[in-house]
């Protein structure tokens, strides 16, 4: 696909002191995805010419990790050594891009993770008729966003930062989101004219509006949804954004044919994939990398992450499916079963109270209650292999490395530490001894 003549700048150098965390603000997660990565995810759908990130020293330390999430992109990182405002940060990005600035430039923020590609396209399209377009939203609630000053004809005159606004300006409902699109051929000249003559002695990017107007350039604004441009500055706001993102993901799932019995108690990840006619019961958590086939039931209090589940399966209640697990079609994983790094074959049942880790199980096998694959000796992990149509009795311990063949039967209560060939019956337990009147004898000796 041909690259669009579009440059994206993502400002992500904010300290985030109100987060009260050692982790940089933009790397806190929403729907199990870092906020900065969510912004990049949305931005790259526009197929831009380039993306430049302005970051702090703390974020720069995660540069390789961020790049690993977007291997198809040539992300450029710029360190903002001094925190002198959004105008200063934008100037650093422009200097980094040099001659690579495209015809249109969009400035985003790493802490506004709900922005959609549709809204970004809406803002950018305004550059066909103006040189600067501000993404604005209407809000009647008190907030500390900058205010758009508009004349009687509806023309944008300037933006006043909240801390510099007077009482009358603070009552204006038209707020600045911070996101803006600028003519790529004009942006460098505009940014270079920004000064720090304000209460905070910072270089405000919003001063571009006044500068552009005085330079006889056309300035406009585009109204967008307040929810899409909400920023995060505290853990409270992070939880609010999480709630909004979860609602969006749930709505999308239900519109695609998934039944959520209690949407509010179902927690999804940004990349969750669920097939048609699935039923998700209350209190289910899906972590990253979960793919679920059609006609699956996930019952209450199940926790699944980085796993694949085939069609027509029943999972839970109280099941935990851990990373690198693949469960084939028509399987039953019951209550209090934990699966880790295991391949479970078609039609196999693990109905209750079992741990199956580092294991391959074939088709139509049955794993009895209380079965454990003993895969760890304190230093290394070992593998268990179970064939097709085998039956493992209740309360068995399978000491890996071990291989159990097809059509095998393992007696309940067995501790199996040797391979079992196809069709064999294996029993490994102590012989039962009944002592006549043993209770009385024991009582006499004891007392």
Identify the segments of the chain with pLDDT beneath 50.
Answer: 447
Q: Indicate left, alpha or beta for 399 from its phi (over 0: left) and psi (-120 to 50: alpha).
A: beta
Q: How far apart are CA 169 and CA 176, in angstroms?
A: 13
Helix (H/G/I), strand (E/B), else coil: 171 = coil
168, two tokens: 């009358």
φ and ψ of 343, to 5 deg: -110, 120
Say what the pLDDT of residue 161 is.
84
Residue 243: count other Cβ atoms within 10 Å of its Cβ: 12
Say what the pLDDT of residue 56 is.
95
Say what the pLDDT of residue 258 is.
98
Pairing mode, if any, of strands 156-160 and 147-150? antiparallel
CA distances (Å), 327 to each of 76, 290, 299, 335, 393, in order? 40, 11, 16, 16, 21
φ and ψ of 211, to 5 deg: -65, -45
Say what the pLDDT of residue 446 is.
60
Q: How far apart are CA 123 and CA 183, in angstroms?
A: 12
Eight-class DSSP state of 395: T
pLDDT in tens, 366-400: 999 999 999 999 999 999 999 999 999 999 999 99
Q: How far apart are CA 122 and CA 103, in angstroms?
A: 16
Say what the pLDDT of residue 442 is.
82
Q: How far apart are CA 353 and CA 360, in angstroms?
A: 18
Cβ pair 427, 414 in contact under 8 A: yes
Report the sign of the C-alpha dihedral through residues 29, 31, 32, 38, in that order. negative
SS in 3 state form for 17-69? HHHCCCCCHHHCEECCEEHHHHHHHHHHCCCEEEEEEEECHHHHCCHHHHHHC
b/e for 292-327, b at 16 or more Cβ within 10 A? bbebbbbbbbbbbbbbbbbbbbbbbbbbbbbeebbb
Active-site hit among 28, 69, 303, 352: 352
What predicted TM-score, i.e. pTM, was given to this entire model?
0.91
Q: How far apart are CA 231 and CA 274, in angstroms?
A: 29
Q: How far apart are CA 41 and CA 23, in angstroms?
A: 21
Say what the pLDDT of residue 2 is.
67
Q: At what angle do helices 117-125 and 35-44 cross, to 10 degrees?
A: 60
Say what the pLDDT of residue 440 is.
87
Lookup result for tokens 């590609």: 117
Catalytic, 352? Answer yes
Say what the pLDDT of residue 15 is.
82
What is Dmax (Cα atoms) for the chain? Answer: 107
% the chain with pLDDT above 70: 99
Cis peptide before 317 (omega within 30 of 0): yes
């Amino acid at each position: 696909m041909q690259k669009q003549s579009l440059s994206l700048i993502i400002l992500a150098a904010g300290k985030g002191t109100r987060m009260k965390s050692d982790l940089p603000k933009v790397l806190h997660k929403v729907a199990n995805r870092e906020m900065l990565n969510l912004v990049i995810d949305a931005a790259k759908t526009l197929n831009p010419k380039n993306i430049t990130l302005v970051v702090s020293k703390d974020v720069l330390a995660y540069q390789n990790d961020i790049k690993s999430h977007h291997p198809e992109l040539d992300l450029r990182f710029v360190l903002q050594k001094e925190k002198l405002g959004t105008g200063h940060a934008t100037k650093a990005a422009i200097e980094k891009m040099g001659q690579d600035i495209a015809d249109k430039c969009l400035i985003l923020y790493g802490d506004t993770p709900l922005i959609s590609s549709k809204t970004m396209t809406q803002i950018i399209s305004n550059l066909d008729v103006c040189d600067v377009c501000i993404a604005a939203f209407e809000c009647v609630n008190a907030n500390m966003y900058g205010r758009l000053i508009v004349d009687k004809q509806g023309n944008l005159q300037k933006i006043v930062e909240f801390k510099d606004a007077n009482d009358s300006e603070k009552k204006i409902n038209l707020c600045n989101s911070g996101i803006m699109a600028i003519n790529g051929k004009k942006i460098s000249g505009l940014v270079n004219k920004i000064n720090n003559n304000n209460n905070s002695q910072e270089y405000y990017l919003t001063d571009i509006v006044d500068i552009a107007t005085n330079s006889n350039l056309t300035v406009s604004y585009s109204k967008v949804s307040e929810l899409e441009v909400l920023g995060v500055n505290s853990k409270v706001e992070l939880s609010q954004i999480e709630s909004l993102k979860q609602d969006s993901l749930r709505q999308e799932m239900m519109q695609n044919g998934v039944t959520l019995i209690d949407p509010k108690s179902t927690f999804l990840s940004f990349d969750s994939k669920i097939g048609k006619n699935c039923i998700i019961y209350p209190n289910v958590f899906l972590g990253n990398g979960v793919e679920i086939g059609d006609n699956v039931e996930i019952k209450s209090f199940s926790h699944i992450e980085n796993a694949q589940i085939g069609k027509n399966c029943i999972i839970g209640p109280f099941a935990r499916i851990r990373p690198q697990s693949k469960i084939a079609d028509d399987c039953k994983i019951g209550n209090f079963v934990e699966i880790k790094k295991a391949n479970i074959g078609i039609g196999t049942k693990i109905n209750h109270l079992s741990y199956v880790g580092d294991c391959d199980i074939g088709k139509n096998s049955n794993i009895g209650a209380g079965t454990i694959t003993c895969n760890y000796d304190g230093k290394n992990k070992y593998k268990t292999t179970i064939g097709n149509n085998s039956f493992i009795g209740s309360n068995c311990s399978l000491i890996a490395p071990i291989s159990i063949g097809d059509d095998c039967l393992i007696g309940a209560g067995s501790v199996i530490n040797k391979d079992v060939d196809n069709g064999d019956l294996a029993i490994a337990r102590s012989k039962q001894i009944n002592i006549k009147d043993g209770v009385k004898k024991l009582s006499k000796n004891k007392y």
